[in-house]
C-alpha cells in the first residue's frame, strides 16, 4: 500500500520539534518581518547508503543521515537564504530570525496557517520499497553479481569496480501563500566499470542505471545488459582505430546521447537564463529555432524515472512542458520566481540540491520526441560520417550553447554502412546551429538508463535525458586521423 506522504514526513521532520501547521506558521512571523514577495520553508531529511566493490569484494560502505531546514525570502529578483542543520524549535526560530533580518522591503501580509495540498503521485512509494532501500545485504549481492558477470564475459577483463548508491529524500515545503506539501523520494543507482587488457594496452568503460523505485528494478536481465555494455564498449575501444577529423554528418544513437541535447539546448531554455538575456534563445519565443520535425519536451511526470518528482522543490506539481514543437520555440522551464517576474505559469521546474541551497529553474527528464524515419534509413543516408552511440563527457557554454563532447563509442559510416570502430572522437559545435541542421529524426525514441546528474550554480540534481536516432549535418569531428 502506498504510504501517506504527509504522515511519513511529519514523523521524519516535525516530530522532534513537535511541529504542527499552526506552529510552523509562527516561523513566518520573523521570516516575513522585513516584508517579502514570497517566503518558504523547506524541511528535508536525506538518508543515503553507498557501497564500493573493488578487486572482487565489497571494500567500503557508508551510511549518512542529513536533516535540516532552509528558509528563503524573495523580493523582486533578490533572494535570501538561511538554513539550520537541526530540526529543534530553537534552531528553527533562530534560522527564521536570521533569514528575516536579511529581507529587503517587500509586500507585507499575514501568513495563513499552512494547509495540505495534494499532487498527482508520479511514483508510488510503499513500506516494502523503503525497507529494500535499506537492505545492505541485497545491495552488496547486486555488486557481487555484476562483478561475476563482467569477469565471465571475456578473458581480457582484468579489473572490475562497481558502486551502489541509494537515497531516501523526505521533504515538507511550506509557502507564504499557505501551501503545505510533502514528498518522499527514493533514488537508486548501480554502476559497473571494467578494464580490459591486450598486448599491453588497456581500455576502460562503464555502464549502469537506476530509478526512483526499489531494488526490484535491478533484474538479472538489466545486470547482464549493463555488464555486457561495459565490456563491449571497453573492447570496442581496444580494437578501434583513430577517429577521422573534419566537418561531416554525425548520426547520434538513441537514449544517452540525449545528454548533448540536455547540455547544449536544455540549459538555454531554463527561464532564469531567458529572463536575464544570457541564453541564445532569449526573445525567440514563437520563432523557428530547429528543423521541422524536431520536438523537445521536459517531463517530470514519467513514473520511476531518475528526473521525475511528484512535486518540485517549491511545492509545485511537476508537468510535461513542450519547449520546442515541430521546430518552433513554444515554452521555457520556470520556477516560482522566474514565473512571477516573467508573468508566466510555473512549470514545476524549481529544484534545489538540498535545504542549504536556493531553488533554480532546472530540467527534470528532457528529451526529443520520436520522428518518423527508421534508424537504419538514417545511417543509410550518410555517405561518409560518424555514428556515436555513447558519450563519456563534455563541456558546454550555457550562454551560447557551444559544446565539445567526447564520444566513447563511435563508428565510421561509409556509403551508408557502419564500418570500422573509431576512438578519440569529439563533437564540436553549438546547440542552436545543430538544431537547425537535423534533417532526419528516428522513430526509435529512448530514455537513458537512469544515470544522469546535472550541475548548475554548483548544485547537483538527478535528471533524465533521451532522444531517438537522428542525423545532424555538418558537425565538426575532432579526431587524429586527418586522412580518413
Per-residue model confidence as pLDDT tens digits over 153-205: 999 999 999 999 999 999 999 999 999 999 999 999 999 999 999 999 999 99
What grid cell was written down for 214? Answer: 526499489
8 Å CB contact between 150 and 41: no
pLDDT tens digits for range 80-93:
999 999 999 999 99
Mean pLDDT across 103-121: 76
* pLDDT for 393: 76
Length of the chain: 484
Show Cβ contacts of residue 388 under 8 Å, excluding neighbours closer than 6 positions.
250, 251, 252, 253, 257, 407, 409, 410, 425, 427
* pLDDT for 481: 64
Give CA separation, 157 vs 53, 168, 393, in Å. 16, 34, 23
Domain with CATH 3.30.2290.10 in the chain: 5-238
Provide the CATH topology of domain 5-238. Answer: PmbA/TldD fold (3.30.2290)
User: Which has the minimum average pLDDT: 106-110, 226-230, 385-389, 447-451?
Assistant: 106-110
* Strand-pair partners of 467: 446
How many whole angstroms from its chain centre is CA 221?
24
* pLDDT for 482: 53
8 Å CB contact between 290 and 437: no
What grid cell was written down for 110? Answer: 499575514
Taking the complete model, does pTM exceed 0.75, yes or no?
yes
Residue 105, judged by CB atoms within 10 A of its CB (0-12, 13-18, 19+), counts as exposed
* Strand-pair partners of 50: 62, 165
* Residue 41 confidence class, pLDDT cut points 50, 70, 90: very high
* Cα 157 to Cα 68: distance, rounded to the nearest angstrom: 44
* pLDDT for 479: 75
Phi, psi of 429 (to 5 degrees): 175, -160
- What does 126-182 look like in DSSP terms, one character per residue? BHHHHHHTT-HHHHHHHHHHHHHHHHHH-TTEEEEEEEEEEEEEEEEEEETTSEEEE
With the C-alpha atoms ordered 186, 259, 50, 459, is the resulting torsion angle positive or negative? Answer: negative
Mapping DSSP to helix (H, G, I), strand (E, B) and coil, where does residue 267 land? helix
* Strand-pair partners of 472: 250
Mean pLDDT across 353-360: 97
Amino acid at each position: 500500500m502506498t504510504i501517506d506522504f504527509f504522515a511519513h514526513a511529519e514523523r521524519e521532520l516535525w516530530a522532534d520539534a513537535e511541529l504542527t501547521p499552526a506552529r510552523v506558521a509562527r516561523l513566518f512571523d520573523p521570516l516575513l518581518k522585513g516584508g517579502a514577495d514570497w517566503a518558504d520553508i523547506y524541511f528535508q531529511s536525506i538518508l543515503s547508503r553507498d557501497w564500493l566493490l573493488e578487486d572482487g569484494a565489497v571494500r567500503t560502505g557508508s551510511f549518512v543521515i542529513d536533516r535540516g531546514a532552509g528558509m528563503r525570502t524573495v523580493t523582486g529578483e533578490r533572494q535570501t537564504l538561511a538554513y539550520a542543520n537541526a530540526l529543534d524549535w530553537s534552531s528553527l526560530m533562530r534560522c527564521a530570525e536570521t533569514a528575516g533580518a536579511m529581507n529587503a522591503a517587500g509586500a507585507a501580509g499575514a501568513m495563513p496557517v499552512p494547509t495540505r495540498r495534494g499532487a498527482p503521485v508520479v511514483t508510488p512509494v510503499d513500506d516494502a520499497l523503503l525497507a529494500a532501500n535499506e537492505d545492505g545485504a541485497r545491495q552488496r549481492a547486486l555488486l557481487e553479481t555484476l562483478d561475476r558477470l563482467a569477469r565471465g564475459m571475456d578473458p581480457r577483463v582484468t579489473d572490475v569496480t562497481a558502486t551502489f548508491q541509494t537515497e531516501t529524500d523526505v521533504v515538507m515545503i511550506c509557502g507564504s501563500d499557505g501551501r503545505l506539501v510533502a514528498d518522499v523520494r527514493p533514488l537508486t543507482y548501480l554502476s559497473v566499470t571494467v578494464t580490459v587488457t591486450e598486448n599491453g594496452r588497456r581500455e576502460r568503460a562503464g555502464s549502469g542505471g537506476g530509478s526512483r523505485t526499489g531494488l526490484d528494478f535491478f533484474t538479472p536481465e538489466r545486470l547482464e545488459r549493463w555488464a555486457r555494455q561495459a565490456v563491449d564498449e571497453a573492447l570496442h575501444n581496444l580494437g578501434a582505430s583513430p577517429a577521422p577529423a573534419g566537418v561531416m554528418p554525425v548520426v547520434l544513437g538513441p537514449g544517452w546521447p540525449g545528454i548533448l541535447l540536455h547540455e547544449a539546448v536544455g540549459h538555454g531554455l531554463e527561464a532564469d537564463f531567458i529572463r536575464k538575456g544570457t541564453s541564445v534563445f532569449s526573445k525567440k519565443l514563437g520563432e523557428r529555432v530547429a528543423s521541422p520535425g524536431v520536438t523537445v519536451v521536459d517531463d517530470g511526470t514519467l513514473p520511476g524515472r531518475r528526473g521525475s518528482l511528484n512535486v518540485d522543490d517549491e511545492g509545485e506539481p511537476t508537468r510535461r512542458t513542450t519547449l520546442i514543437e515541430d521546430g518552433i520555440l513554444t515554452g521555457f522551464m520556470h520556477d516560482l520566481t522566474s514565473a512571477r517576474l516573467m508573468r508566466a505559469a510555473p512549470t514545476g521546474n524549481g529544484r534545489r540540491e538540498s535545504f542549504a541551497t536556493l531553488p533554480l529553474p532546472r530540467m527534470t527528464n528532457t528529451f526529443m520526441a520520436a520522428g518518423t524515419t527508421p534508424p537504419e534509413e538514417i545511417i543509410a543516408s550518410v555517405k561518409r560520417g560518424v555514428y556515436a552511440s555513447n558519450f563519456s563527457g563534455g563541456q558546454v557554454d550555457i550562454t551560447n550553447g557551444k559544446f565539445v563532447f567526447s564520444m566513447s563509442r563511435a563508428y565510421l559510416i561509409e556509403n551508408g554502412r557502419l564500418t570500422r570502430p573509431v576512438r578519440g572522437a569529439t563533437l564540436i559545435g553549438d546547440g542552436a546551429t545543430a538544431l537547425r541542421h537535423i534533417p532526419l529524426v528516428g522513430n526509435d525514441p529512448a530514455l537513458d538508463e537512469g544515470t544522469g546528474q546535472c550541475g548548475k550554480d554548483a548544485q547537483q540534481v538527478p535528471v533524465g535525458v533521451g532522444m531517438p536516432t537522428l542525423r545532424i549535418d555538418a558537425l565538426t569531428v575532432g579526431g587524429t586521423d586527418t586522412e580518413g
